[in-house]
Copies of this chain bind each other. A is one copy, B any other.
Amino acid sequence: MVKHATLPRNQTGIDTVLGVLKQQFGERIQNGKAICEQHGHTTTWIENQPPDAVVFAKNTQEVSDIVTVCAAHRVPVIAYGTGTSLEGHVNAPAGGVCIDLSQMDAVVEVNAGDLDCRVQPGVTRRALNTHLRDQGLFFPIDPGADASLGGMAATRASGTNAVRYGTMKDNVLAVEAVMADGKIIRTGTRARKSSAGYDLTRLLVGSEGTLGIITEITLKLQGIPEAISSARCSFPTVDAACQTVMSVIQYGLPVARIELLDAMTVEAVNGYSGLDLPLTPLLLLEFHGSEASVVEQAETFGALAEDHGGEGYAATTTAEERTKLWKARHDAYWAMLQYRPGAKAIATDVCVPISRLAECVVVSQKEAEKLGLVAPIVGHAGDGNFHVSLLVDMENPDELDRAAGFVSWLNGVAISMDGTCTGEHGIGQGKRKYLKDELGEATAVMSAIKRALDPDNIMNPGKILP
């Protein structure tokens, strides 16, 4: 496991706070070992650092009450949604109180006429889309996991649809948040745009609970497209696939998804999902629009792919075929685990300008091979964002070291290409050491904001900032 330093504990403060909260929350505050470890768990290789207790909050005022007590005694507060973050975001290196928001799961209102809605932070994206379906609406951000919308906002999540619909930063109109002093603020209105003051919405989106706890989110919605079609195309090389992606973006083709699978991932997916895709790099696409528009988009893509040596291009509008294709993509994680039985998949992500994507993927494949690592790659190619899933034998310390070395190397390469050390997973604990490499003096500005808004460093301490 990758260990991150524990921070000094304020045991007296913690004891006092747990006593006070027990009075208010009774059975809704728990401190059993299993529940605390579960709330400090991460889905990656970072060691568990459990909080001292978990409180299940039911409304914003309760969150404010908890933060107010913790602030009075300088005790850390960590917000928890579904625990699907990947960089140790919910660990508690100084102990403290975890606020589980999963019971704040109401869709507060849907304004179909304005294509917006207000939700509590514990609503998951699938639950929201189930709620919306009858009204012909959907929320487009799809990070893969059925994450909570509060967590998705807090980590500035995105995923396969971002090439068309943007990331959480683009789809949150406003948030309500509890700040480090317990005060409740609302950062915006339901207006589609505003020039009124500092953009606190975007400051809280991606702040990973280190500035405030998001207790309600106003989201933009989309109408479910009249037609959806899918396509796949194999390419002789990663470069040919990426050149096609660049053509698509330059052409302005409004693809809804354009995913890259490298040959190793295709091999894993074939094995797991019973497919027989050619063992070469693959692009998977989805088109949204009117019936005529998706046909036109698919034809245009076919022509662009052919220009770059695409082979076996197949478009489909039947739901069954489409589901099969995308199910294979969504099952890639499980396919990878089966590809190397007994290994754990350590997902890391970087994002580079699209013109550098092919180069970055290819040098990553070479570096992994040089280090003797098994490292299939999938990418949200339209954004220049890709994931290397290191399949690591966690019992082999030498292999773990090589994997850690690879991650460090990859972040350096992405930054050297004018890219970022994380396109969508966030900084958490795992990427703190790279933030300054990427943004230099700007991290001092971030620290100044953190000190101003959370002077006692109680909001999710030990995350983001170096």
Residues of B within 8 A of A418 (CB): 189-191
> Does B195 lie within 8 Å of A422, measured CB to CB?
yes
The answer to the question of A439 belonging to the interface, with a C-beta cut-off of 8 Å to chain B, is yes
- Residues from 149 to 198 in A contacting B, C-beta threshold 8 Å: 155-158, 162, 166-167, 169-170, 179, 183-198
User: Closest chain B residue to A116 by CB distance?
Assistant: B353
The answer to the question of A43 belonging to the interface, with a C-beta cut-off of 8 Å to chain B, is no
A78 to B420, CA, bound (A): 32
Shortest CB–CB separation between residue A384 and chain B, in angstroms? 6
Stretch of A47-55, A249-257, A301-309, A371-379 contacting B (4+ beta carbons < 8 Å): A249-257
The size class of the interface chain A forms with chain B is: 35 or more
Which residue of B205, B300, B427 is within 8 Å of A199 (Cβ)?
Answer: B205
The answer to the question of A207 belonging to the interface, with a C-beta cut-off of 8 Å to chain B, is yes
> Does B191 lie within 8 Å of A419, measured CB to CB?
yes
How many copies of this chain are found per oligomer?
A: 2
A425 to B193, CA, bound (A): 11
The answer to the question of A61 belonging to the interface, with a C-beta cut-off of 8 Å to chain B, is no
- Residues from 375 to 422 in A contacting B, C-beta threshold 8 Å: 383-385, 414-415, 418-422
The residues of A with any CB-CB pair to B shorter than 8 Å are: 111-116, 155-158, 162, 166-167, 169-170, 179, 183-200, 202-203, 205-207, 211, 222-223, 225, 246, 249-252, 254, 290, 292-293, 296, 300, 351-355, 383-385, 414-415, 418-427, 431, 434-435, 438-446, 448-449, 451-453, 464-465
> Does A187 lie within 8 Å of B439, measured CB to CB?
yes
A351 to B192, CA, bound (A): 8
The 5 A-B pairs with the shortest beta carbon distances in the complex, nearest first, are A452-B452, A202-B202, A194-B420, A113-B355, A191-B351
